[in-house]
Structures are given as structure tokens and as C-alpha cells.
Amino acid sequence: MSKDISYDAIMSRRSDIVKDSAGIDFARFERGGVAFDYEAMLAATGYTLDKVREVQFEASVGNTPIIELRNITALARLFAKPGYGARIFIKDEAANPSGSFKDRRAATAVYHAKRSGYKGVIAATSGNFGAAVASQAAAKGLKCIIVQECYDSRKTGQPEIIEKARKCEAYGADVIQCTVGPELFYLSLKLLEETGYFSASLYSPFGVTGIETLGFEVANQMKVIAGGFPDTVVCTNAGGGNVTGTARGLAKAGCKAEVIGASVNLAGLHMASDTSFNRKSFTTGHTGFGVPFASWPDRSDVPRSAARPLRYLDRYVTVSQGEVFYMTELLANLEGLERGPAGNTSLAAAFSIAMEKPADHIIVVQETEYTGAGKHVQPQLSFARRNGIEVKFGNSSEEIPGKNIILPESAAGIKAIDLDLDHMRQSLIRHAKETSSEPLSDFDIDFLAEETGTTPAFVYQNLG
């Protein structure tokens, strides 16, 4: 008798599918109504930081340069009060094989797939991770399937996502494209069950431990470049893995830098909405992923996500679409570095934050990404205009996502806006209480304190 492959049936078998396709029994780590042993889950991969570094070195991943943005720092100091304007550096992850920090995630996952005898790998992603997995699979001689959320119901696809499909295909991957909605994870799980391939999930322990090397490198390279650890590290935040892995790597190097997450403000646009899908100009690094995944990480294709950003964030800010486009042009025109929009999200935030900090303060933007035809500013703005979005110069704080894109009149108009981390922490705690089938134990309370980077007293205070 054939298996039921309806949406509900596939999702009900998610734990078993993931257990077979990732070699991890997530049930082993459950410890209470909501608690699980997070560190044990990460350790279950069997890969230490040193081993991951070795794997990535063999795959020509990592050890990317750090570049000081002297001209952009000088510009920030023009607008800052005397004695202020922090030094800004970027970790140039575009130097990785497929052009982004996602190669770090993919290298570990694909290495493990090859070592474990899987014939192929599957990843569900509309972003750079697909290209990274395809690149690493090609180098290891494995089959690769990338499932993309690409189109709205009119079969109109965003230029950046379509470009990424071509990039994946160039590496020999099969790309399956779907319309916006809940079918992305469903299709990937269904394919994992049918093919017996390895699950190269963004949210698996393999993915997050792969990023720890990034934070570790940032800390140690800055000791050589500037004589000490950075004071602040800014990470573009979407599903939380970038923040999580980077912060853990910084800590393993002994660095206690302030960790700031940055997302593009897309408030008011529902990411699973057919009508909203093409009314945004950013496919990742925005609040449509960053906020919900921070307040409840376990909403992906694995039972327990290894990306837990609220454990590590000291601050979380947003910038507008117009500000990121402006910063993309600024980086090219002032520094001669043409890079894609995802890393420039955190760079726009860093530029604003630099004006708040003393001149001897050091800020590192921990990633850049490649750029290409679909990622350039003009194709993105042209696509926005075709979808009824007004594009203009003005006060970018007045930008309304889905209605207009406002580029600032000058760099002085770039202003990062703080999000309320306590509100997100409270949301996570309330969600945990609502989803638990039993009263929360002391173990659960301690777990939620770790999840939110707070204390048991804070958890009790917000249980309601």
C-alpha cells in the first residue's frame, strides 16, 4: 500500500523523515514540555570547531579577508559628533566558492552526507544557501535538488530568486520551483522521503555549527589587524542561524563583542501571502523571517531548529529597503566593492550605529555576498515599479513596505531603528506556554531563560 503523501500526512511524519535524512533523532534531546538539550543536539553532529575548520579548508571555504572601509568610516564621521564615528570593517564572505557565508553551512552538511553514504542532498531555500549546497555537492560528486519558493500565483518570479535558480543549475543541481505558501517545506520533506537523500537544512545542527568558524575567524583576524577583538559585530538576521553561529564562534574565541542583528523592515507584508510576495525587494534578511523565527524558532523543516537568535542577540535593529539600496551604491562608489544586498543590510545598520560610537570603537559587519544580474539595485527597483511600488528619494523613515521604496537624500538619512527584544522574548515565552501539553516544569523555566537570554524570574514574570 502506497504512503499517504498529503500535506498533513507528510508533516505528521516530519520527525521520522528528518531522522532518516539527517541521521539525527531529535526525540533524544527532548527534556520537558518545551525544553530540549540544545548543546547535546549540536554536539550530536560529532564535529568540533577544529574539525569543521578542517572540512571547510579542504573545501576552499572560509579564511576570507577582512577589509576596513576607510572611506565609509570617514563619511560616518562627517555626520557624527566630534570624537565619534566607529571604524567599520567587513568580513568579505563573497570570497567563498559560491559567493556567500552559506558555503560554511553547506560544506559541513555535504561533507557529512558524503561521509555517511548518501547519494544526494536536498535543501529548501530561495536564497544563497541553494547555490552553496549545489556548489559543495558538485565538488563532492553528489546529486543535488534545490526546492525554491519562487513565484506568486501569476507565475511572476523575483529577479534575485530566478538568478539563484540559474546559479544552482550551473552547478548541476535540479531546481524545483513552487509558488509562495506552505508547500516549500512540504515538497522538500516529500522529496527526502522519496529519494533517501540527505537533508541539508538551514536549521540543522550541521548548518549552524558550520557558521561558528565565521565568528571565530572574525575575532582572531581582528586581533591581528587591530590589536584586539572587535567591540561590535553586526549580522544580517533572517532565520537566526547567522546570528547563532557567529555569536557562538566569537565566544569560542574568547570574544565578548556586542552582537547586533539587522533586518530590512518589511512590517505589514505577510511572507506567505500571494499578494505580498512580489511587493518586497528582499528575499532574505528581512523582518518577515527575522521576527517570527526569533520569537519561535521551531517553525522550519526540522523538529528543533539549531538557530536560536534570542539566546545571543544583544540588540536587534531594522533598516529600510531604500537605505540598503543606497548603501549598496555607496559601497561600490566609495570603496570599489560591488556586493549584494544581504550583507549590505547589516552594513547599512553598521553605518548608522557607527555614528553613535566613539572613534576608537571597532564594528565588524560579518558577511558580504556576491552580486549578479538579479541582485543589482536597478533590476530590483525596476521590478518594484512593475509591481506598483513607488520609488523616490526622501525621508526613508517614511517608507511603507509594499507601497514605496524611499532612498535617503544623503547618507546622513540612514537610521537604524531598534526593535523591542523584550517583546520578542515575551512572545516566545507565551508561545511556549500555549504549545505545551503539560504545566511547565522548573527544567522548562530554566530552558526558557536560556532561550531568551534572561533569567527564570523574567520567565515567571511573563508567563501570564
- 86 with 362: CB under 8 angstroms? yes
Question: Same domain for 90 and 106?
Answer: no
In percent, how much of the chain has pLDDT > 90?
84
pTM attached to this predicted model: 0.96
Query: Which residues neighbour 50 within 8 Å (Cβ) at sequence distance 6 or greater?
Result: none
Length of the chain: 464
176 and 78, same domain (yes or no): no
Q: Residue 221 falls within a domain, yes or no?
A: yes
| 2 located within any domain | no
Cell of residue 169, nine digits: 543549475
Model pLDDT for residues 345-397, shown as the tens digit of each residue: 999 999 999 999 999 999 999 999 999 888 999 999 999 999 999 999 999 99
What's the confidence (pLDDT) of residue 310? 98
Q: Summarize pLDDT for 339-355 with one digit per residue, the tens.
A: 999 999 999 999 999 99
Residues 140 and 243 in one domain: no
Select from 159, 175, 203 the last residue of a domain.
203
Quick: pLDDT tens for 102-148: 999 999 999 999 999 999 999 998 789 999 999 999 999 999 999 99
Report H helices in 387-441.
421-435
Answer for the pair 375, 283: CB distance below 8 angstroms, yes or no: no
Mention every residue, 6+ apart, whose C-beta is less than 8 A from residue 1. none
List the domain range (segments joined by +) for residue 448: 430-461
pLDDT confidence tier of residue 226, bands split at 50, 70 and 90: very high
Chain CA centroid to CA 221, Å: 22
Chain mean pLDDT for the chain: 95
450 and 349, same structural domain?
no
Distance CA 12, CA 10 (A): 5
Domain count, the chain: 3
Residue 223: CB atoms within 10 Å = 15
Region 51-71: mean pLDDT is 98
Residues 144 and 280 in one domain: no
Share of the chain above pLDDT 70, in %: 100
Do 405 and 399 form a contact (C-beta atoms < 8 A)? yes
Q: Is the pLDDT of residue 16 over 70?
A: yes
What are the residues whose beta carbons fall under 8 Å from the beta carbon of 169, sequence distance 6 or more? Answer: 175
Residues 211, 151 share a domain: no
Q: The domain spanning residue 31 has which CATH number?
A: 3.40.50.1100
pLDDT value at residue 302:
87
453 belongs to a structural domain: yes
The answer to whether 168 and 131 are in contact (CB under 8 A) is yes
What pLDDT, on a 0 to 100 scale, did the predictor assign at position 158? 87
My answer on whether 82 and 30 are in the same domain is no
Instruction: Provide the pLDDT for residue 181.
Output: 76
Q: Answer yes or no: is 442 within a domain.
A: yes
The one-letter amino acid at 48? T
In the predicted structure, residue 87 carries a pLDDT above the cut 70: yes
Residues 441 and 351 in one domain: no
Both 82 and 163 in one domain: the answer is: no
Rounded Cα distance between 389 and 392, Å, is 10
Note whether 199 and 322 are same-domain residues. Answer: no
Q: Is residue 423 domain-resident? A: no
Residue 1 lies in a domain: no
My answer on whether 254 and 375 are in the same domain is: yes
Q: Are residues 191 and 281 in the same domain?
A: no
Q: Which residues contact 105 (CB under 8 A, 6 or more apart)?
A: 129, 132, 202, 206, 207, 208, 210, 211, 241, 245
Mean pLDDT to the nearest integer, 280-294: 93
**Is residue 1 very low, low, confident or very high in pLDDT (cuts 50, 70, 90)?**
low
Residues sharing a CB contact under 8 Å with residue 92, sequence separation 6 or more, in sequence order: 64, 65, 66, 67, 337, 339, 368
Question: What does residue 392 show for φ and ψ, rounded to 5 degrees?
Answer: -160, 170
